[in-house]
Amino acid sequence: MNAGASPAVVRELHDDILVVTINNPPVNALGTSVRRGLLEALETAEATPRVRAVLLLGAGRDFLGGADIREFGQPPQPPALPDVCNRIEACAKPVLAAIHGAALGGGLEVALAAHYRIALASARLGLPEVLLGLLPGAGGTQRTPRLIGAAAALDLMLGGRHVGAAEALELGLVDRVAAGDVAQDEGLAYVRELLAQGAPVRRTRDAGALADRPAQQAAIDAARESIARKPTGLFSPGRIVEAVQAALDLPFDAGLARERQVFIECLDSPQRAGLVHAFFAERATAKAPEMGTARPRPVHAVGVVGGGTMGAGIAVALLDAGLPVTMVERDEAALARGRANVTKVYDGLVAKGRMTAAQRDAVLARWHGSTAFEALAEVDLVIEAVFEELDVKLAVFAQLERVCKPGAVLATNTSYLDVDRIAAATRRPADIIGLHFFSPAHVMKLLEIVVPAQVAPDVVATAFELARRLRKTPVRAGVCDGFIGNRMLAVYRQAADHMMEDGASPYQIDRAIRAFGYPIGPYEMADLAGGDIGWATRKRKAATRDPAARYVQIADRLCERGWFGQKTGRGFYRYPDGARQGVPDPEVEAIIDAERQRAGVTPRTFSDDEIVRRYLAAMINEGANVVDQGIALRPLDVDVTLLHGYGFPRHRGGPMKYADMVGLPQVLADIQRYAEDDPLFWRPSPLLLRLVERGANFDSLNQPGANHA
């Protein structure tokens, strides 16, 4: 039955049922060969009198992971996925999809085009196209509302979340949740049952969930209003609503045509390019070169030194991953605070009903505290999160070296300090690595894995494996002041400070950066993080600062007044009565004016566009330096760092992808123009210069084996 079939789609006759198995590892994406194979299978089913029904299955871990994302932006190859779905639906013999693992995007659309659906209890279904800047473009916007109503369909398509089998059954996405756990057996049994009942071909295009027009229109209007109320700058959500409106207003085929039109608009949008770049980039950073060659060391128990902001958050991240955690603090009072910091997180979850008290207690039973380093004798990995002072850290590592068993991985969460120096001060430099979490550590996805010169490859592999267990997005970084993210932040924040002193208000800068897509502007962020931390760093670095370099003192003036931001009720903004949303502060504007006068600056106006261009140019230029100096492996590592740790808008792909989309010659021309006024700050990165000269872009360095020279 298989002769002539594409190997990506295997056909097998089971009595009078044609079992069609899609086999395109790793996730059965619906690439050209799969689409062709599916069409052939449908033709075979109809042409073979003996075949009475078709069962669609996915081989491996998932049913179907969706359209092949790698094909987006390439010339389309027939048959198109919507045509394949239409062919499935048109089949004169019953077609059943048996879903296991993931049925996502185009994968779910294939299932929706089938006449019946059964899912294993562990299956996950969803229409996550919106997360890639797209919409379901293989009939999903037309079939889903007809099957489950506009409200539920919009919820799935606008949020992109995955639903489990039980919820899918409740929604009406599937007809049955299987009792067993083998999709083929469950599917065959269901098909036989349907055949025995004489169950008819039942096409989703004819389903009636849109019948109650006013209620459906109300759901669409509600979605439209919700998008207008909370503008995200995203293009595809509005198009999704339009497509669902078409499902309500137009006959099925006309609705499909409308869907196609808006799908192509999304496909051609820069947002789609940015979001797809982010999807592949975060998968690329998760693969350390060492993972292929070195086996991660086993990690069964972990120690955390310090129970402050970061130590507690890291402990929660570890506990959430099911690991036992031993926290060491300097005295009983600090330990009690550390425990309270951890407990507070879980109490919050209990209060919100996201966890029961018994579940909280079970998690906290895996937390142990001590004031003695000896408690870490048996752990496999330790993460140090004590004060950001080299001497304090060196003393902690001396203790760790004394008590920890041979082979234990010893990690530091330092933000800036020299991990090579910490490693060199111990007798176990091969075991030492940086694990730079972001605050709050149990929430933020980014984990910079800072790789010092002497570290053993299996320690690097262990760090990446730990990131996987913690569901973090790891990025490999080299040792330098601030690694990838904080080093870049220091530079683009300076660019913002220069603009502030030159005439832009912090409020305009925040507004412009938010309009670009950031959730929060740099000065709102400074107020949130607390001005005191940066102030302490600036004071520490004052002695080594280049006296010729421009230094804006506005933030220092605020800190001298004790205005550290939200926590003190004032910073760049005022926070009356503990408000979380700040209001502009005329006194701050007066301080800025005074600083301009002191610095001899005649203020000028900035357009929002110039603010964004300068901010981004500083970020991109330092990103290029970070790549050029080998601190980041590739430009995409910079992108993932900024996306997951610093709020860079995902639909723009990250600063380096954004630079490619703007065009590197334009970015360089901006920098060269800004350099006319401040050549010390605006020094074009050698990498940027080389790429422009070669007519190349950053993405050319993302390819395996790319050469920076």
**Residue 320 host element (H or E):** helix 309-320
Interacting span for ligand NAI (CB under 6 A) from 13-21, 351-359, 384-392, 649-657? 384-392
The values of phi and psi at residue 383, to 5°, are: -120, 120
471 binds ligand 3HC (CB under 6 A): no
Query: Could you write out the DSSP letters of every residue in 183-240?
Result: HHHHHHHHHHHHHHHTPPP--GGG--TT-SHHHHHHHHHHHHHHHHHS----SHHHHH
**Which residues are registered as beta bridge partners of 201?**
none
Interacting span for ligand 3HC (CB under 6 A) from 67-75, 180-188, 219-227, 700-708? 67-75
Indicate which of ligand 3HC, ligand NAI, none lies near residue 104 (CB less than 5 to 8 Å, by partner kind): ligand 3HC
CA 659 – CA 652 distance, rounded (Å) = 10
383 binds ligand NAI (CB under 6 A): no
**Sites for ligand 3HC among residues 2-21 (CB under 6 A):** none
418 binds ligand NAI (CB under 6 A): no
387 binds ligand NAI (CB under 6 A): yes
Spatial contact of 118 and 78, defined as CB atoms under 8 Å apart: no
67 binds ligand 3HC (CB under 6 A): yes
Give 7 or 562: the residue with its C-beta nearer to ligand 3HC: 7
Indicate which of ligand 3HC, ligand NAI, none lies near residue 69 (CB less than 5 to 8 Å, by partner kind): ligand 3HC
SS3 434: strand
Interacting span for ligand 3HC (CB under 6 A) from 101-109, 208-216, 490-498, 505-513? 101-109
Known catalytic residue: 290? Answer: no
448 binds ligand NAI (CB under 6 A): no
Using only C-alpha atoms, the chain has a radius of gyration, in whole angstroms, of 28
What burial letters (b/e) apply to 497-518, b meaning 16+ CB within 10 Å? bbbbbbebbbbbbbebbbebbb
Tokens at residue 87, please? Answer: 């062919």
237 binds ligand 3HC (CB under 6 A): no
474 binds ligand 3HC (CB under 6 A): no
SS3 433: strand
Interacting span for ligand NAI (CB under 6 A) from 35-43, 287-295, 324-332, 611-619? 324-332
CA 376 – CA 390 distance, rounded (Å) = 21
**Which residues are registered as beta bridge partners of 59?**
none
CA 57 – CA 118 distance, rounded (Å) = 11
Q: Among 25, 37, 142, which Cα is nearest to 88's?
A: 37
208 binds ligand 3HC (CB under 6 A): no
582 binds ligand 3HC (CB under 6 A): no
Tokens at residue 241, please? Answer: 């609503």
Interacting span for ligand 3HC (CB under 6 A) from 129-137, 386-394, 613-621, 648-656? 129-137
Give 14 or 330: the residue with its C-beta nearer to ligand NAI: 330
Query: Could you write out the DSSP letters of every residue in 650-696?
Result: GGGT-HHHHHHHH-HHHHHHHHHHHHTT-TTT----HHHHHHHHHT-
154 binds ligand NAI (CB under 6 A): no
Taking the complex as a whole, the smallest distance from the CB of residue 134 to ligand 3HC amounts, in Å, to 6
Indicate which of ligand 3HC, ligand NAI, none lies near residue 451 (CB less than 5 to 8 Å, by partner kind): none
User: How many residues bind ligand 3HC, per CB under 6 A?
Assistant: 26
32 binds ligand NAI (CB under 6 A): no
Known catalytic residue: 129? Answer: yes
Spatial contact of 685 and 621, defined as CB atoms under 8 Å apart: yes
Provide the mask over 286-315, with x wherever binding to ligand NAI is found by CB under 6 A and - wherever it is not.
-------------------xxxxxxx----
Positions marked catalytic: 109, 129
State the residues that interact with ligand 3HC by CB under 6 A: 26-27, 29, 62, 65-70, 81, 102, 104-106, 109, 128-129, 132, 134, 136-138, 140, 280, 283
State the residues that interact with ligand NAI by CB under 6 A: 305-311, 328-330, 334, 385-388, 392, 396, 413-415, 437-439
